[in-house]
Amino acid sequence: MELRYPNGKVYKPQQVKNTPHLKQRIYGNRGMTLEEDLNETNLFYLEQEIAVIHKKPTPVQVVNVDYPKRSAAVIKEAYFKQASTTDYNGIYKGRYIDFEAKETKNKTSFPLQNFHEHQIKHMSDCINQEGICFVILRFSTLEEVYFLDAKHLLTFWKRKNTDGRKSITKQEIETYGHPLTIGYRPRIDYIKIIDKLYF
């Protein structure tokens, strides 16, 4: 059976042998994007029947298609139908899960301009309905990943909107967030933080 990510990409499991180079083999693909790491993590959760969490598709309106051959169609022009909310959603232990994933090359703070007003509103709405809502932040140059509960993000957003700081300092993320280590399977085990905070 062929497994695919929600974005259609074919899942190819890595072959791992018990060799002295195991650590090198496991961590060999450190250049992956946060999205790729999370997609692999979510596939692991699905396979192990831990949680059902997917990347949300972005709604697109196709307006111009070229048919060079009968068997092939090429989209020449398309538009986003609406602003997207957050990147991922699903269910875990009967609770709705909703989160956004963002990366920055900045080493000392996370710019709030990476988020949009409609995303903040969506997260606030999810929290009001008792959903589990958070962000996963990656400092790409430092290779550090953090889980930050959305309630803290909303506080920093409110500060920005009242002429305050336009970013979250790394120290604030370390204080209010939870570090996530990059592993093999799952790549980014954020469920263990959800267990700690919500269950």
Domains of the chain, earliest start first: 22-57+83-198 (3.40.1350.10)
Backbone angles phi, psi at 57, to 5 degrees: -70, 145
pLDDT 10s digits, 60-89: 777 788 887 767 778 777 776 656 688 899
Torsion of CA 165, 142, 28, 183, to 10 degrees: -60
CA angle 188, 190, 194 (to 5 degrees): 175
Q: Which pLDDT score, from 0 to 100, does residue 65 have?
A: 80
**Does the N-terminal peptide bond of residue 186 adopt cis geometry, omega within 30 degrees of 0?**
yes
Q: Which pLDDT score, from 0 to 100, does residue 13 have?
A: 58
Residue 6 pLDDT exceeds 70: no
pLDDT 10s digits, 84-103: 688 899 999 999 999 999 99
**What mean pLDDT, rounded, does the chain reach?**
85
Residue 27 pLDDT exceeds 50: no
Least confident of 25-34, 110-119, 165-174: 25-34
